[in-house]
Amino acid sequence: MSADVAARRGIPDASVARLPGYLQALTSLAERGISSVSSEELAAAAGVSSAKLRKDLSHLGSYGVRGVGYEVDRLAYEISTALGLTQDWPVAIVGMGNLGRALAAYSGFATRGFNVIALLDRDDSLVGTPVGDLAVRRMGDLDALVRDDRLAIGVIATPADSAQDVADRLVGAGVRSILNFAPCVLDVPSDVMVRKVDMSTELQILAFHEQRRTGELDLTAQSGVEGVVAL
Partner DNA sequence: ATCTGTGAAACGGTTCACAGCA
Partner DNA sequence: TGCTGTGAACCGTTTCACAGAT
Dihedral of the alpha carbons of 178, 140, 102, 110, in degrees to the nearest 10 = 70
- Site residues for a copy of itself, 118-147, by CB under 8 A, read none
What does 68 bind: DNA, a copy of itself, none (CB cut-off 5 to 8 Å by kind)?
A: DNA
Please identify which residue in 20, 34, 44, 50 interacts with DNA, judged by CB under 7 A: 50
List Cβ neighbours of 121 (8 Å cut-off, separation of 6 or more).
94, 95, 96, 100, 127, 136, 138, 139
Please identify which residue in 49, 81, 204, 211 interacts with DNA, judged by CB under 7 A: 49
C-alpha distance from residue 36 to each of 8, 72, 74, 149, 197 (Å)? 31, 5, 10, 39, 34
- Tell me whether residue 113 is annotated as binding: no
Cα–Cα–Cα angle for 58, 114, 205, rounded to 5 degrees: 70
Q: How far apart are CA 100 and CA 119, in angstroms?
A: 8
Determine, following the binding rule CB under 8 A, whether residue 166 of this chain makes contact with a copy of itself.
Answer: no
Determine, following the binding rule CB under 8 A, whether residue 92 of this chain makes contact with a copy of itself.
Answer: no
Determine, following the binding rule CB under 7 A, whether residue 201 of this chain makes contact with DNA.
Answer: no
Q: How far is the CB of 197 from DNA (least distance, A)?
A: 18
**94 close to 104: Cβ distance less than 8 angstroms:** no
Determine, following the binding rule CB under 8 A, whether residue 189 of this chain makes contact with a copy of itself.
Answer: no
DSSP string of 179-224, one letter each residue? EE-SSS-----TTSEEEE--HHHHHHHHHHHHHHHHHHHHHHHSTT
**172 close to 165: Cβ distance less than 8 angstroms:** no
- Site residues for DNA, 203-222, by CB under 7 A, read none
Determine, following the binding rule CB under 7 A, whether residue 191 of this chain makes contact with DNA.
Answer: no
Q: How far apart are CA 179 and CA 168, in angstroms?
A: 13
Please identify which residue in 19, 25, 39, 186 interacts with DNA, judged by CB under 7 A: 39
In DSSP terms, which residues pair with 136 in a beta bridge?
Answer: 119
Please identify which residue in 3, 47, 62, 189 interacts with DNA, judged by CB under 7 A: 62
- Tell me whether residue 97 is annotated as binding: yes
Residue number, 88 or 140, with CB nearest to a copy of itself: 88
Q: How far is the CB of 230 from a copy of itself (least distance, A)?
A: 7
- Tell me whether residue 98 is annotated as binding: yes
Determine, following the binding rule CB under 7 A, whether residue 176 of this chain makes contact with DNA.
Answer: no
Q: How far is the CB of 215 from DNA (least distance, A)?
A: 20
Q: Catalog residues that contact DNA under the rule CB under 7 A.
A: 5, 12-15, 37-40, 48-52, 54-55, 57-58, 62-70
